[in-house]
Amino acid sequence: MFLIIVLGLIGLGIVVTVHEAGHMVAAKLTGVEVEAFSIGWGPRLLTRTYKGTEYRLSVLPLGGYCKLKGETAFQKALETGSARIPQETGSFYTAPVWKRVAILVSGPLVNLIFAILVLSIIWYAGFSFETHENRIVLASDAAVENEKSPAEEAGLETGDRIIAINAEPVENFRNIQQKVAASPREELELTVQRNGEELFITVVPKLDRQTGAGLLGVYPWIPPVLAGVDGPASVAGLRPGDRILEIDGRGIDHSIALQDAVRAGGSNLHVVYERNGEIRETNVAPDTGETGEARLGVSFETITQSSPSLSPAGALVQGVSETWETLALTVQGIGLLFRGVDLSQAVAGPVRIVYFTGEVAQQGFQAGVGAGFSSLFNFLSLLSVILFFMNLLPIPVLDGGQILMNLVEGVRRKPLSPRAIQRYQMVGGLMILALIVFALMSDFIFLAGR
């Protein structure tokens, strides 16, 4: 857990620091003075002043901030009873409206550019990932599943191989997950192979109210070949490479069947398996895992797939394409919040974001240093796109709300009064505070369940 938190804080800190750096660079280019730029919050560990800006490294690794000259000048005007914000050289509110808007836009914009660059580098370097074949097991065939799934209602069967979705080829189960997750309540035309025949089946994934993703109700067909063993399986003499054939006389065709057999079995399971073409038998006494369910202590083989290393131009095109797709899904996700999604599950606060970032990084690093950095920065590109979109929403306090306020001033051709700015900021502050409290409560409920 400690490593997850550390990696998560580092990851979130990178995304927020990039955002604030965008504001800083734009301010310097437009002649607005930057009084301080900090990586982290709280007490300062290191400081250095360069060209009028104090650069800080602070204790709390929670992103950072960019302090512009005069950005709180409206508060000083209120304290002195002035009806106008003081006009000082190099001050934020002294700058023309277009310069202020440029500064405000630059933070989110740099997040978007960061996402494109990160994804382009990943595609240029090439990457690999673990997945399973495009053959499926119906969730309704699992002992723990009682509800009829969209897949079953559409006529899919366990053992089917999905080879295309909406005429786009599907090579592995990861492709299926990606396409289905992005299409809740939308018709999908599946091309399916079954017993040597090719079928066309229309299915409508249901909306997962906890995540907002589409659900088909299928698991990957994972052959019961062991990739790793520990605990009870190791004690019973099972080894990587063994293929489980039967448990208590029940035939095992895939991992779901194995899990069901273990769940339904007693304290001593009779296991028939194959090793190097030889049929063997053993008895395994399952133990209880963290979830309280019986477990053998086995993991299964996966398929390692590698992406081609693209040319710089090809990688940039792919980076732009993936960033656009992520942005479209983010917009779609906002719409789903008003279509019955459980907000306490779908809205993640800073605690959960740190946890998810760290978890993704940790899982990646377990597969190797290269895979770890690829997984971490791929996730950070996702966060960057979300930060780009969310910050441009016209909510006071956020960049989008500030942009709106300055555009109103530009249309009026008359500066807003300090009192109007204060009230506007206060409304936004209360909205953001309410959202943070709600998100933090849902975060802690989520973590308590982990």
Beta carbons within 8 Å of 363's beta carbon, 6+ residues apart: 375
Nearest to 390 by CA among 326, 440, 343: 326
Torsion of CA 205, 210, 213, 214, to 10 degrees: -10
pLDDT at 349: 44
Q: Which CATH architecture has domain 136-221?
A: Roll (2.30)
pLDDT at 368: 53
pLDDT in tens, 84-107: 777 788 888 889 999 999 999 999
Mean pLDDT of the region 254-282? 90
pLDDT in tens, 272-317: 999 999 999 999 998 876 666 788 889 998 888 777 788 999 999 9
pLDDT at 158: 93
Residue of 20, 71, 152, 322 marked catalytic: 20
- pLDDT level of residue 344 (50, 70, 90 thresholds): very low
The residue to which tokens 């700058």 are assigned: 95
What are the sequence ranges of the domains in the chain? 2-124+378-448, 136-221, 226-304
pLDDT at residue 338 tops 60? no
pLDDT at 160: 95
Look up 33 and say whether it is catalytic: no
Mean pLDDT of the region 348-364? 46
pLDDT at 350: 47
pLDDT at 193: 95
Alpha carbon of residue 341 to chain centroid? 17
Write down the mean pLDDT value for the chain: 81
Domains 136-221 and 226-304 share a fold: yes
pLDDT at residue 49 tops 60? yes
Asked if 436 and 349 count as a contact pair (C-beta separation under 8 A), the reply is yes
The answer to pTM > 0.85 is no
What is the CATH topology of the domain spanning 226-304? Pdz3 Domain (2.30.42)
pLDDT in tens, 231-251: 899 999 999 999 999 999 999
Show the tokens assigned to 233: 């399986």
Cα separation, 241 vs 277, whole angstroms: 11
pLDDT at residue 432 tops 90? no
> Of the segments 113-117, 327-331, 351-355, which one has the largest average pLDDT value?
113-117
CA distances from 297 to 190, 191, 256, 280 (A): 35, 36, 14, 19
pLDDT at 14: 85
Helix, coil or strand: residue 36 = strand
